[in-house]
Chains A and B, each alone.
Chain A
Amino acid sequence: MTTLSQRPVLRSYTYWLTQYRRTWRGTVITSVVSPVMYLAAMGVGLGSLVEGGSGTDGLTYLQFVAPGLLVATAMQIGSFESTYPVLGSFKWVRNYHAAAATPLTPSAILAGHLLWMATRAAMASGIYLAVVAAFGALRSPLAIVALPVCVLVGLAFAAPITAFAGSRERDSGFAALQRFVIVPMFLFSGVFFNVSQLPTVIRPIAYITPLWHGVRLARDLTTGDLEPGAAWLIPVHVLYLAAFVVVGVAVARRVYRTKLAN
């Protein structure tokens, strides 16, 4: 009988937990200070210049931008935790290779690390959500459901990027990923303004980004404005994000098998 803590996934997860014990203070401070700064500057400061209207779904700017920033944070965490830590585990620290010599399979090594990335997304998003609540920007108790949405978004980025990072020999692609994928998404996927404000030809590009689907879900939940006519969109958003996780995990499993059992 293997008890729960004996599951291979959790054994591989322990490594990241032990690692984190050395750095948790810094990340917790960042997780608190960063939302306070963004919400104060964007939500309150810039928001004082913004008149609520169709561009903000009739919300105050703080109410509008807070769920966007919340989800964008989950994206940032997911995309950071899946780049350098993954490449480093293969190339620099080589902790994956250490684990591969034990009963752990490449899949368990991957799953433990993804579980850790999900944990990081949950921690940062939980703190973010609490700060948003402290700013008085939540209008519905449904907002608590935004937390699992954030984890889903974190993984929708982390899983495919893990596959990408795992197949790299150097870290040279990571800056480009940040500059040409993550930052444009942050700016144009409905975090700061409604995608309907974009020129018609560009709008479809925003719609296919996973971030937009996450932002839509989170904004529905923190405001509680679930229009009956648009309810069908909720499972679409969830499934769209889940598809990124599923495909990302499938490709990453192949990468890990090739690298750790060749």
Chain B
Amino acid sequence: MSDDAPEPLIHARGLVKRFGDFVAVDGIDLDVMPGEAFGFLGPNGAGKSSTMRMIGCVSPPSDGTLRILGLDPRTQGPRIRAKLGVVPQLDTLDLELTVRENLLIYGRYFGLPRSVARERGDQLLDFVQLLDRADDTVEPLSGGMKRRLTIARSLINEPQLLLLDEPTTGLDPQARHVVWDRLFRLKQQGVTLVLTTHYMDEAEQLCDRLVVMDKGRFAAQGSPRELIDRYSSRDVVELRFALGDNEVAAEKLAGLGDRVEVLPDRVLLYAPDGDGCLAEVHDRGLAPLSTLVRRSTLEDVFLRLTGRSLVD
């Protein structure tokens, strides 16, 4: 590097992943700096997991440049993986072994001496609040506990970069908040986090910077705030009318706010000033059944960029 900027932990240019004729990742450019929390958002099939697998050095890029921790995954895979922590989308815990045995085996995979793996393992179990279950088999643990164990396991080698593929998918709200809390602490300790999610609140909670992926490309990138400013308005006014009245109402709403969007069950008005906008709705003689003025969220950005139709 010519200037004194720190080297990015992840550096990709024109990164492509193909499976036969199918292009999963279609030429993305990416730099993730040390200490950042970086998120990939996108619908299923957008290419998030393929990107994560390339970054995790278990899937060779089909084309383009990729450097992880300054090394080339094509030739230095084991060296890079030694410094990564990976929380895969599907848990790969051994259900028949105990919580502690799962950690010890993983530590052995990294070549840690047994005593080190044991000591670190217990510290990590404490960190994810599972120390009292250390000698229980994994099988009967709840989904949230298994997820926390997977996170503890991913930290056994004290990784520089932690990759989390949908860390809280399928967890109940309590379990999600515990996971978020632990990830937030890691972030404060300076661990670089890269995660995929399709929960907007998760992205807003954890990520300094994120990209919205769609069909293998980046549809947008920036901080959560920047994305909302760029792709949505400050406020959203949600109006519900009697069944079938939405279209009629929408005509009368024309010109209000920045944008009007008609959904099957409600009409959305995107406006810089939601309350003022709602007052004008009433001034125009409209009487919606219910109204809601709220701040724009990433979800609004996401749906605008990737559409509302289902991707299966």
Contact = CB atoms under 8 A, between A and B. Distances in A.
Interface of A: 2, 6, 8, 11-12, 14-15, 18-19, 22, 93-95, 97-105, 260-262
B265 interface: no
Interface string B109-130: 1110000000000000000000
B109 A22 contact: no
B58 to A, nearest CB: 5
Contact of A261 (B19, B58, B92, B94): B58
A94 B60 CA distance: 20
Given A11-B109, A18-B105, A102 B81 contact: yes
Interface string B93-110: 111110001001110111
Contacts of B30: none
B216 interface: no
B304 to A, nearest CB: 34
B109 A103 contact: yes
A105 to B, nearest CB: 6
Contacts of B90: 94
Contacts of A95: 92, 94
A101 B101 contact: no
B42 interface: no
8 contacts: A11-B108, A18-B97, A18-B101, A98-B106, A101-B81, A102-B106, A103-B110, A103-B111
Contact of A15 (B60, B78, B105): B105
B68 interface: no
Q: Indicate the member of B19, B60, B84, B111 with the most A CB atoms within 10 Å.
A: B111
A25 to B, nearest CB: 15
A33 B168 CA distance: 49
B66 interface: no
Interface residues of B, number: 29
B88 interface: yes
Which interface residue of B92, B109, B110, B157 has the most chain A CB atoms within 10 A?
A: B109
Given A15-B109, A99-B109, 7 more contacts: A12-B109, A18-B97, A19-B97, A101-B58, A103-B81, A103-B109, A261-B58
A6 B19 CA distance: 35
A93 B94 contact: yes
A243 to B, nearest CB: 30
A157 B153 CA distance: 35
B86 interface: yes
A8 B77 CA distance: 14
Prevailing SS type, chain A contact patch:
helix
B105 A14 contact: yes
B160 interface: no
Contacts of B44: none
B111 A101 contact: no
Given A18-B97, A93-B95, A102 B59 contact: no
B79 interface: yes
Interface of B: 19, 56, 58-60, 77-79, 81-82, 84, 86, 88, 90, 92-97, 101, 104-106, 108-111, 157
Contacts of B56: 101
B92 A14 contact: no
Contacts of A102: 81-82, 106, 109-110, 157
Contacts of A19: 94, 96-97
The 4 tightest CB contacts between A and B, nearest first, are A98-B92, A102-B109, A103-B78, A101-B86
A11 B101 CA distance: 14
B197 to A, nearest CB: 19
Contact of A94 (B19, B58, B92): B92
A97 B59 contact: no
A98 B156 CA distance: 13
Contact of A101 (B88, B94, B95, B105): B88
B94 A104 contact: no
Contacts of A103: 78-79, 81-82, 109-111
A99 B106 CA distance: 8
Given A6-B111, A95-B94, A261 B59 contact: yes
Which residue, B94, B95, B101, has most C-beta atoms of chain A within 10 A? B94
Contacts of A260: 58
Nearest to A104: B109
A99 B56 CA distance: 12
Contacts of B82: 102-103
A98 B88 CA distance: 8
A6 B105 CA distance: 13
A100 B108 contact: no
A23 to B, nearest CB: 9
Nearest to B96: A22
Contacts of B108: 11, 14-15
Nearest to A10: B108
A17 to B, nearest CB: 9
A257 B142 CA distance: 33
B96 A100 contact: no
B154 to A, nearest CB: 8
